[in-house]
Amino acid sequence: MDYVYGPGRNHLFVPGPVNIPEPVLRAMNRNNEDYRSPAVPALTKTLLEDVKQIFKTTSGTPFIFPTTGTGAWESALTNTLSPGDRTVSFLIGQFSLLWIDQQQRLGFNVDVVESDWGQGANLDILEDKLAADSAHTIKAICIVHNETATGVTNNLAKVRKLLDDYRHPALLLVDGVSSICALDFRMDEWGVDVALTGSQKALSLPTGMGIVCASPKALEASKTAKSVRVFFDWNDYLKFYKLGTYWPYTPSIQLLYGLRAALDLIFEEGLDNVIARHARLGKATRLAVEAWGLKNCTQKEEWYSDTVTAVLVPPHIDGAEVVRRAWKRYNLSLGLGLNKVAGKVFRIGHLGNLNELQLLGCLAGVEMILKDVGYPVELGSGVGAASAYLQNNIPLIPSRI
Amino acid sequence: MDYVYGPGRNHLFVPGPVNIPEPVLRAMNRNNEDYRSPAVPALTKTLLEDVKQIFKTTSGTPFIFPTTGTGAWESALTNTLSPGDRTVSFLIGQFSLLWIDQQQRLGFNVDVVESDWGQGANLDILEDKLAADSAHTIKAICIVHNETATGVTNNLAKVRKLLDDYRHPALLLVDGVSSICALDFRMDEWGVDVALTGSQKALSLPTGMGIVCASPKALEASKTAKSVRVFFDWNDYLKFYKLGTYWPYTPSIQLLYGLRAALDLIFEEGLDNVIARHARLGKATRLAVEAWGLKNCTQKEEWYSDTVTAVLVPPHIDGAEVVRRAWKRYNLSLGLGLNKVAGKVFRIGHLGNLNELQLLGCLAGVEMILKDVGYPVELGSGVGAASAYLQNNIPLIPSRI
Amino acid sequence: MDYVYGPGRNHLFVPGPVNIPEPVLRAMNRNNEDYRSPAVPALTKTLLEDVKQIFKTTSGTPFIFPTTGTGAWESALTNTLSPGDRTVSFLIGQFSLLWIDQQQRLGFNVDVVESDWGQGANLDILEDKLAADSAHTIKAICIVHNETATGVTNNLAKVRKLLDDYRHPALLLVDGVSSICALDFRMDEWGVDVALTGSQKALSLPTGMGIVCASPKALEASKTAKSVRVFFDWNDYLKFYKLGTYWPYTPSIQLLYGLRAALDLIFEEGLDNVIARHARLGKATRLAVEAWGLKNCTQKEEWYSDTVTAVLVPPHIDGAEVVRRAWKRYNLSLGLGLNKVAGKVFRIGHLGNLNELQLLGCLAGVEMILKDVGYPVELGSGVGAASAYLQNNIPLIPSRI
Amino acid sequence: MDYVYGPGRNHLFVPGPVNIPEPVLRAMNRNNEDYRSPAVPALTKTLLEDVKQIFKTTSGTPFIFPTTGTGAWESALTNTLSPGDRTVSFLIGQFSLLWIDQQQRLGFNVDVVESDWGQGANLDILEDKLAADSAHTIKAICIVHNETATGVTNNLAKVRKLLDDYRHPALLLVDGVSSICALDFRMDEWGVDVALTGSQKALSLPTGMGIVCASPKALEASKTAKSVRVFFDWNDYLKFYKLGTYWPYTPSIQLLYGLRAALDLIFEEGLDNVIARHARLGKATRLAVEAWGLKNCTQKEEWYSDTVTAVLVPPHIDGAEVVRRAWKRYNLSLGLGLNKVAGKVFRIGHLGNLNELQLLGCLAGVEMILKDVGYPVELGSGVGAASAYLQNNIPLIPSRI
């Protein structure tokens, strides 16, 4: 089964799935259990309570679906909207594209606001649309917080401000798949109505849980939303929440214990420290890219992502070859460029349970690969630039002081 | 986290999730991987090929969804049917009830054929309906192969025969959640159009994979089926099958390797030997029930289930108390009676990676519990009756001869 | 590697190595660590403190050797005695025989007190020897608390009483390999000078730690003991205890964390409850043996062992065939008869992290095997007899009340 | 238990215990087994056969002791020598010192040949001693192949040549703890009589197995060697080898399966490729040290070690502070300077299942630490120097070509 085995650790730097920390692997190393025994609901109760913290919400209601991010999208949409409803959605990269595709296939009237790949959501256009929509035909704003394909982080606070400025009642639905638990995300403060993430991203678990959090307004909307839904229906969950058994169908016992361990690690480190660590890793990566004389796919600093960096390669180099070579020679997993930026970028994911020396090993690898494919990088330059920043900014590990 | 820890092993005898064998636990004890590397498609290819064997199909197309059985149901229905389509569906217990509820919520015109809980699907009524349906308004027959709530196995060969006798083109959709890999199931021979199972049942994995297998006729139907679907859409999978990358969204790396290990174990034992083992365990359980002077919820031998036995308790005894006591005193997990049979039965799941001595330990436990709750059982009687049968029928372990 | 794989769990009923509970497996599922970092000494400190509880000592000094029980024996002897020293040692079965052989090879003058296999240590002869030894030529009494080969538990309190009665200064060295953490053992109260056990016995860990606990008197003796020793020398450990780094050479990181988890489980259950559980399992086993019409190898009730039962088979039956058949047909591991009792007994180990239903599964298996080999047992009789006792005596699981 | 948890992976660069690869962790994630069943001897047989390959011997007899390197030393000495026997032993660092101490405590007449720490064994003096010893009073030459404390590799081929030149019959006993499976080692070709290693070194397992391999001449010597030994006695093993049960006492089931997996990985990579990988990692490390303007503790290139590099720090810097800081700030585990070189060096272990990017992450960390402690290193310089070499020399991963 491991016929592609290479000596030493795989260096996993795709922007998800990410490295699982040992305590989480340990927590999941277990037999199945009867999920109807008193133990599983008791565990679930703590999870539902604690998972709200990673959304920074106290009023939200979380749902832990046995699904992926794509399923979480579907749950967010079908529980709050009815076929034909107008959504405003921003196309800025492959994942926002896929979400828009889903919205269309689910029968919504999607008002697409497109930007160059490498730019953030065009909020000026949003403002125009909101200003023009005194009839409130816009039922929801759908936006990815962090576009994983291009490494672009959108400004959600500003989206909220625009909605407030225009007193617009549209729901704010946010894909936080590659942001929540890694980037600054504030569900309550920003008035996000549905936020969602996947377990295999910054939570650093295996794939298999799509975590969706609904505001009271979203829950209210779900009462009248006419989209057909069964598996992804919040209402089934809410019924079982009331019964105290929590699960309308069988959850993964292993992932429940894994989530418990993952949350414990995040809380031990401190969520804000986790976010600060991601900021350090993102900054260090960008400094390396700059030192190599390469450009970030992200066109402006305001959109820089601290969870993934898409690096533009010179025209004569194939980004996919960088990724292939990383895997074949260095046991390094980098992200491919997708769709419009296929071949033009390679991506370094720097999210999840990851530390600085892991990143520096990755950056050292990228330097060698760049040389392999004919780009004249000075070996050590990116690592040096990143290190210069990190050496000034890495805190002591609190548990070891 | 293990605040409900009891000494020794938990005896897991709910009809799912079931015991995970050590080799499968080992296979899943691993970090995440880049699912876009060449390794994961190569692994997936073997899985898709080999998983067909557990359905006994060569012409079917399997889909491995990151979901549960409920999601697999939804996938089977939405890919083959359009809103308003007439289905004939058999209500014989809690799980067929839930599937019918799903069919109704998805907008189908469900023609419900109800039986007493403890009886199998009423195929006489099916015959009448087929005979009357010369207009072919029935688009699909939906049937659970094994109703987990009552321990009733339906006769699928007969369903096929009726469809053939009346040359009826309705699709045959089968929930094989608690049958496939445990009971005799023959997708091709019985002309099943969609069959499905969940990983946490006889495959003996964690929850998280809903495996759906579609016949060529079902695939053809999916081209015109108008039910809204995105996450559960076969077509997205088929596109990626063609590309050779297989996954429209992120799979669970751990479950893929787990499925590989689970299939390897099943093939090593031999699928027919696995089925024979379940037949032995089922028979032994029923002999014990008889020895205790109790009745099987299943009303006729033709419906006896070899994966789960629902045991009727005398009126003055609460089946739920049997289950509670099992857990609180004996570290034994039994299945509750659900809905109409709540309190009236407790269930012994005897499916998955399980052997005879495990079952006998469970039966010994049930005897003590029955005594605990005031039923005058002779201790050892059920175990003795089961052993008498087993001692004559257990084969030597082939790898140890 | 698992070419002897059988479906379902292996039923492990040898008297060591025993079943490892899941929380312990989880704790050990980890990478290596630098044992010179502050983390490992901090962990070790808690282990050395807490491990004293399983010996019921406050004044003893524990040593955790990376070795087996055989190594622990050697450590006990070489640290306290000098070549030529007279020891009184009791030959009552294979393990006491091996220890005596070791004593002889290490150059001690071993005064062997032999009993029939199935009897306990002859303490009358000990009394005679003590009475006769006014010159105090006896330097140590070496005794196994529980002879694993025959299922005989010796009366240590009485040994201490004899030593006290005769005011004899001999050291009391006790092999507690198959007793400590399972049988009532009181190092301080019984004035045991060196007690030892192995990790793979009642502690329910993998093999690899020989745990030796020395009284102040034993430590004092070690200052003058002239036996050659390096690897097993307590003094090297004591030096590193003073330094606070604890380890003269590299320990197994995994076993340290495993021991932590094992002790936590024992303390959560309560050591006295653990001992009571073993008493229940031992009694239940003996009741089954009696119901089968078979004899216990142990000749008198006062010596009955609650951790292992050696069952005498009728002359026409080969005990080894019982063991072979258990493994080949039932995935059950029983203990062979060793040396003098080879073929005459088979052994049921009932120690470690084990519960009643596991034992009943084993007993049900033994019944079928007995029938297989031609012994006319009534199936269910042993299980019934054991259950009748257990059903009256099993407490509720405290964490689940 | 993980109260010293830091985010991300621990970077383990002590020269043992080393990183355990995932396939080995998986193989060890298992319950105990009866070691007297047919399965364990069958497994053991393959291990004993295959483990000879890592010693490059066909005529040697391996013994797998449940012990550490210190125990393996004791086994090598006590099985081949008698008290009072003269050994020639080279004192070149902490581990040779400890072995000499053991030799003295075991009662041998140790002729110590001392060198500066940082130099190899003085073979000129050995030659003088051999030349002078026409009476063959020297019974054994004891030498560490690789002194882990200073990063010095001795020239064993030359030792053999000297013995041959002087037709001296002394046994050649070699500590290969930090060399075997990583450095070029040829038991048969170099006429090594006893070679030994520990599982936690280049084999990349947990601590717990001391593997000793004896030449026919060593086995012959064991017949007359008078050193007292029981636990470490080869003869007990040989008896059980003949019986085909292999184990005189209980082995660790987990480590046996772990060793199987470890050997499989080594053979898959190819032992010579493993050695070449260590050569690359060693060379890269030395190039980094040079780029930092620091000196290697090893005084001449002929002694450079490819498994560990001891880096001399400038006088005003405390090597221990480098190690402390690595752990507290960077989650990096480096080796302390020991004894004579305490504070003067820190050590980078680069052995076992490790790849280039892991090493580069470590080197990037060391650069930051050096800056932290006031040494004016140019960040990126060491990584760049190492990368320049590696980028030219890393082969493609064969399984991925």
Give the CA distances from residue A353 to residues A200, A347, A358, B250, B395, in Å, rounded to whole numbers and listed in that order.
11, 18, 10, 19, 49
Beta bridge partners of D63: D212
CB contact residues (below 8 A), chain C span 55-74, against chain D: 66-71, 74
Average pLDDT over chain C reads 97
With a cut of 80, say whether residue D238 has pLDDT above it. Answer: yes
Give the CA distances from residue D342 to residues D90, D346, D347, in Å, rounded to whole numbers and listed in that order.
20, 8, 11
Q: Give the C-alpha separation, C235 to C214, whole Å.
A: 12
pLDDT < 70: residue spans in chain C? 1-3
Q: From the list D22, D30, D38, which residue is nearest B22 (CB)?
A: D30
With a cut of 70, say whether residue A1 has pLDDT above it. Answer: no
Q: For chain C, what percentages of helix, strand and coil (3-state, to nearest 5) are there? A: 45, 15, 40
CB contact residues (below 8 A), chain B span 102-161, against chain A: 102, 105-107
Q: From the list B268, B357, B379, which residue is nearest C387 (CB)?
A: B379
What is the three-class DSSP state of D64?
Answer: strand
Decide if D240 touches C, using CB distance below 8 A: no
Mean pLDDT (whole number) for A338-358: 98
* B106/A228 Cβ within 8 A: yes
For residue range D163-197, what is the model confidence (pLDDT) as tens digits?
999 999 999 999 999 999 999 999 999 999 999 99
* C22/A26 Cβ within 8 A: no
With a cut of 70, say whether residue A234 has pLDDT above it. Answer: yes
CB contact residues (below 8 A), chain C span 315-344, against chain B: 327-332
Phi-psi region of D40 (alpha: psi -120 to 50; beta: other; left: phi over 0): alpha
Which residues of chain B does C1 touch, with a Cβ-Cβ cutoff of 8 Å? none
Residue D4: predicted pLDDT: 78
Domains parsed from chain C with CATH numbers: 11-18+271-394 (3.90.1150.10), 22-267 (3.40.640.10)
* D25/B31 Cβ within 8 A: no
Which H helix or E strand runs over C147?
strand C146-147
End-to-end CA separation in angstroms for chain D = 42
Residue A4: predicted pLDDT: 78
Which H helix or E strand runs over C143?
strand C138-144
* C2/B23 Cβ within 8 A: yes
* Residue C301 DSSP label: G
Q: Give the C-alpha separation, D9 to D333, whole Å.
A: 11
With a cut of 60, say whether residue A106 has pLDDT above it. Answer: yes
Chains in touch with C (≥3 Cβ pairs < 8 A): A, B, D
Percent of chain D residues past pLDDT 90, beyond the cut? 98
* D31/B30 Cβ within 8 A: no
Distance to chain B for D258, nearest Cα, Å: 12
Mutation test of the interface with chain B: which of C328, C348, C357, C359, choosing the one with the most B Cβ atoms within 10 A?
C357
* C29/A29 Cβ within 8 A: yes
* C1/D257 Cβ within 8 A: yes
Q: From the list A22, A30, A31, which residue is nearest C30 (CB)?
A: A22
Question: Scanning the structure block, which residue is given the tokens 């303390």?
Answer: C267
Residue D2 pLDDT grade (very low, low, confident, very high; cuts 50, 70, 90) = low
Percent of chain D residues past pLDDT 70, beyond the cut? 99
What's the token pair of residue A251? Answer: 């959850």
Mean pLDDT (whole number) for A342-356: 98
Residue A401: predicted pLDDT: 86
Helix segments in B2-155, DSSP class H = 22-28, 39-55, 69-78, 94-105, 123-132
CB contact residues (below 8 A), chain D span 242-271, against chain A: 265, 268-269
Residue C401: predicted pLDDT: 86
Distance to chain A for D363, nearest Cα, Å: 9
Rounded to the nearest 10°, the torsion over CA D336, D341, D344, D347 is -40
* A401/D328 Cβ within 8 A: yes
Nearest CA in chain B to D21: B30
Mean pLDDT (whole number) for D310-335: 98
* D8/A397 Cβ within 8 A: no
pLDDT < 50: residue spans in chain B? 1
Q: Give the C-alpha separation, A381 to B18, whole Å.
A: 54
With a cut of 90, say whether residue A2 has pLDDT above it. Answer: no
Q: Give the C-alpha separation, C91 to D114, whole Å.
A: 49
Nearest CA in chain C to A42: C400
Nearest CA in chain C to A401: C38
* A378/D388 Cβ within 8 A: no
Distance to chain D for C393, nearest Cα, Å: 29
Residue B1: predicted pLDDT: 44
Residue C5: predicted pLDDT: 83
ipTM of the complex, rounded to two decimals: 0.97
Nearest to A76 by CA among A159, A249, A245, A198: A198
* Residue B188 DSSP label: T
Which H helix or E strand runs over D291?
helix D271-291
Distance to chain A for C305, nearest Cα, Å: 32
Which residues of chain B does D25 touch, with a Cβ-Cβ cutoff of 8 Å? 29
Distance to chain D for C11, nearest Cα, Å: 9
Chains in touch with B (≥3 Cβ pairs < 8 A): A, C, D
Which residues of chain B does C365 touch, with a Cβ-Cβ cutoff of 8 Å? 356-357, 360
Q: From the list D5, D362, D378, which residue is nearest A399 (CB)?
A: D5
Nearest to D12 by CA among D235, D332, D322, D286: D332
* C10/D230 Cβ within 8 A: no
* B27/A10 Cβ within 8 A: no
Distance to chain B for A271, nearest Cα, Å: 21
Nearest CA in chain D to B24: D26
What's the token pair of residue D285? Answer: 């490390």
